[in-house]
Chains A and B, each alone.
Chain A
Amino acid sequence: MARIELHNLRKTYGSVVAVKDINLTIEDGEFVVLVGPSGCGKTTTLRMIAGFEDPTAGEIRIDGRVVNDLEPRDRGLGMVFQSHALFPHKTVAQNIEFGLRMKKVPAPERQARVRAVAEMVRITHLLDKMPGQCSGGESQRVALARTLVTNPSTFLLDEPLSSLDAKLRRELRAECDRLHEELKRTFIYVTHDQEEAMTLADRIVVMRQGEIEQIGSPLDIYSRPASYFVADFFGSPSMNLVAGEVVHEDGGVRFRSKKLSVDLTARYAHVPPGKATLGIRPEHVGVGFDGTGANVLPARLIEPLGKDTLIYFDDGTERAFVAVTEGLGKAALKVGTPVSLAFDPRHIYLFGSDGRRIDPK
């Protein structure tokens, strides 16, 4: 059992505020992913939970008990470090056995448990090797096994896969998922990779500059981003975000940018005129080839990806405007072909000048 609560948790290093009064409750057995760009305070948060950093202010509770003054080893947590942090002078078996030895588990039982977790993460063939002889993926499995064997109530993982290549990352991501299913423990997983967050999390905590930007399920985060920042961070290819302004004309509400003009429908009638950003995911942009409609742009680049084809446009802003079409049907499209873009009102987002999402009524 482990329910972890952070109350107004704050950490400053001199004048740098690494974590800014965050509040978060992580339920027992939940898989929570802390995600955000580098330097946003994820590691600091995790290390405060682990007990390696003293909070400047605020409280950490595990199952209702304040643990601020508890040593890391007394918190019943397990941690997997980004650098794996294996003991280089001990064999893999000795690495895994370490935690059990510290807890004075008798030798025969230790052997059995080391073997069991080694089988669980499929590293039995590595047991007699030294960490230096293991590949990146292998040492990550060893690091996992070393934590698993001590049976912690909560797993803290700090970018455990970031040092691995893409294929291995997917493989070990599945492994983490499976372990969570099997163990039914609390997982707090830190990453800067939005895809990892989306695939693993029960709940995603998006962090930005030491603060929590949004908390929600992957679906929530993807389909209801609270801000420009979140909308931009999640999804690949990322959401089209077009800077422009909201105007009221002819009794209607429109969004206008340099090259685009989108009818916002009456549901946005409450939005005052002024600067705003329009968002639409590439998969929701309608494309037509009859050359009609308010928004016709020439295709700038066609990128066939196999399952989909991406079409890039220049909408007059710094970032390319992207539309996704399924399959390879449009792969042969010529650069320069005029394309009519359609904006389904159900799939557009509007962000105010403060970056927050403005909901339709």
Chain B
Amino acid sequence: MTKSRRRRISTVVRYAVLSVWAVIAFFPIYWMIATSFKIDTQWFAWPPVYIPNPPTLANYRNVWLGAEEYTSTQYAISSQTPLVSLKNSVIISFTATFLAVFFGAIIAYGASRYRLLSEARMFQLLMLRMIPPIVVVAPLSLYYSAIGLLDTLFGLILIYFITSLPYAVWMTKSFIDEVPREVEQAAEILGASRWRTVFEVVLPLIRSGLVATFLFILILTWSEYLLALILSKTNVTTLPIELSKYQGTTEGRVYGRQAALAVGITVPLMIIGLVIRKHLARGFSFGMVRR
């Protein structure tokens, strides 16, 4: 076999394998989107309906606008409040993520520049995050009920902030470490104060990294389920909790509307990702580009 022929075959094989993998990976996402546009009789149809026919927006209307089309049928879910959950999710995850990145960056700056945290401490910080949440969730809910944080916005913001902080410190520290000390010192000896140096030199240089960290943590908090399930009841529901209601045993599985809700949960993150993709590419490859 000639060399070029061998290379061609290997290319074909590679693409074949990757294509199969891509189909496997993307199929659930496709199925979610397709189902969200299906009429109710096609949700469970056998043989499966791959392309909604006719496509309908009924699921979206029903879930997001509370349209009454289905109220008389078995698919009605009395306590649906996706818009309220959306509001809660936005408030909770954006606030918690912002706080985590903000304080994480401050801690990371200290760790990077003043050696406030030793390697061991930094690792312990990350270890904290390796504890499976389910282990602490029961005692935590007792605490929360005792101090009145159960089922409050603040309670969830607080727990998301705390659990994200280690990630935020680790990620932002790696970006701060990449900023040469001499660049900061150049600013200092030119007359800039500590704060001026941070705002004029360090922050602009790690902006992409902060944005990448922000998105990473936002994804985690946006889709967090377990803590939200235990630490909130009916007052403060988030979108992942809302989504799970459509798996209820009493109402049966309302796949179409669950899919419509799921698409609604996914799309905002994808839009944010697209808007800031310039930062993401720079943020995640920062270390590789500089050295």
Contact with B along A75-109 (1 / 0, CB 8 A): 10111011101111100000000110011000000
Give 5 closest A-B pairs by Cβ, nearest first.
A102-B191, A99-B190, A85-B182, A85-B186, A72-B189
Q: Given known contacts A83-B180, A83-B182, is B189 in contact with A78 (CB within 8 Å)?
A: yes
A73, B182: Cβ atoms closer than 8 Å: no
A146 within 8 A of B: yes
A102, B182: Cβ atoms closer than 8 Å: no
B55 within 8 A of A: no
**Which residues from chain A contact B192 at a C-beta distance below 8 Å?**
73, 98, 102
A146, B180: Cβ atoms closer than 8 Å: no
A72, B188: Cβ atoms closer than 8 Å: yes
A73, B205: Cβ atoms closer than 8 Å: no
Interface size class on chain B is 10 to 19
**Which residues from chain A contact B193 at a C-beta distance below 8 Å?**
73
Q: Which of A50, A82, A87, A150 contacts B191 (CB 8 A)?
A: A150
Chain A contributes a number of interface residues (CB within 8 A of B) equal to 25
**Which residues from chain A contact B190 at a C-beta distance below 8 Å?**
73, 78, 98-99, 102, 146-147, 150
B183, A72: Cβ atoms closer than 8 Å: no
CA distance A77 to B185 in the complex (A): 12
B182, A81: Cβ atoms closer than 8 Å: yes
How many contacts A-B (CB < 8 Å)? 62
CA distance A89 to B189 in the complex (A): 18
CA distance A232 to B222 in the complex (A): 67
CA distance A75 to B205 in the complex (A): 27
Contact with A along B188-214 (1 / 0, CB 8 A): 111111001000110011000000000
B33 within 8 A of A: no
**Which residues from chain A contact B182 at a C-beta distance below 8 Å?**
81-83, 85
Interface of A is mostly: loop
Q: Given known contacts A83-B180, A83-B182, is B205 in contact with A77 (CB within 8 Å)?
A: no
Q: Which of A71, A83, A98 contacts B187 (CB 8 A)?
A: A98
A73, B188: Cβ atoms closer than 8 Å: yes
A99, B180: Cβ atoms closer than 8 Å: no
Q: Which of A71, A79, A89, A102 contacts B196 (CB 8 A)?
A: A102
CA distance A52 to B182 in the complex (A): 10
Given contacts A81-B182, A98-B200, A146-B190, 9 further A-B contacts (CB under 8 A): A52-B185, A52-B189, A75-B189, A79-B185, A79-B189, A83-B182, A85-B180, A99-B191, A102-B196
What are 22 A-to-B residue pairs whose CB atoms are below 8 Å? A50-B189, A72-B189, A73-B190, A73-B193, A78-B189, A79-B185, A79-B189, A81-B182, A81-B185, A82-B182, A83-B180, A85-B182, A86-B186, A87-B183, A87-B187, A87-B201, A89-B204, A89-B205, A98-B190, A99-B191, A102-B192, A150-B190
In the complex, residue of chain B having the shortest beta-carbon distance to the beta carbon of A143: B186
In the complex, residue of chain A having the shortest beta-carbon distance to the beta carbon of B191: A102
In the complex, what's the smallest C-beta–C-beta distance from B173 to chain A, in angstroms? 20
Q: Given known contacts A83-B182, A87-B201, is B191 in contact with A103 (CB within 8 Å)?
A: yes
In the complex, what's the smallest C-beta–C-beta distance from B270 to chain A, in angstroms? 29
CA distance A87 to B204 in the complex (A): 10
**Which residues from chain B contact A85 at a C-beta distance below 8 Å?**
180, 182-183, 185-186
CA distance A87 to B180 in the complex (A): 10
B187, A72: Cβ atoms closer than 8 Å: no
CA distance A14 to B219 in the complex (A): 44
CA distance A150 to B191 in the complex (A): 9
**Which residues from chain A contact B183 at a C-beta distance below 8 Å?**
85-88
CA distance A71 to B192 in the complex (A): 11
Of B185, B188, B191, the most chain A CB neighbours within 10 A belong to B191
In the complex, residue of chain A having the shortest beta-carbon distance to the beta carbon of B193: A73
CA distance A72 to B186 in the complex (A): 10
A73, B180: Cβ atoms closer than 8 Å: no
**Which residues from chain A contact B205 at a C-beta distance below 8 Å?**
88-89
Within 8 A of B (CB), among A129-173: 146-147, 150
Of B182, B188, B189, B191, the most chain A CB neighbours within 10 A belong to B189
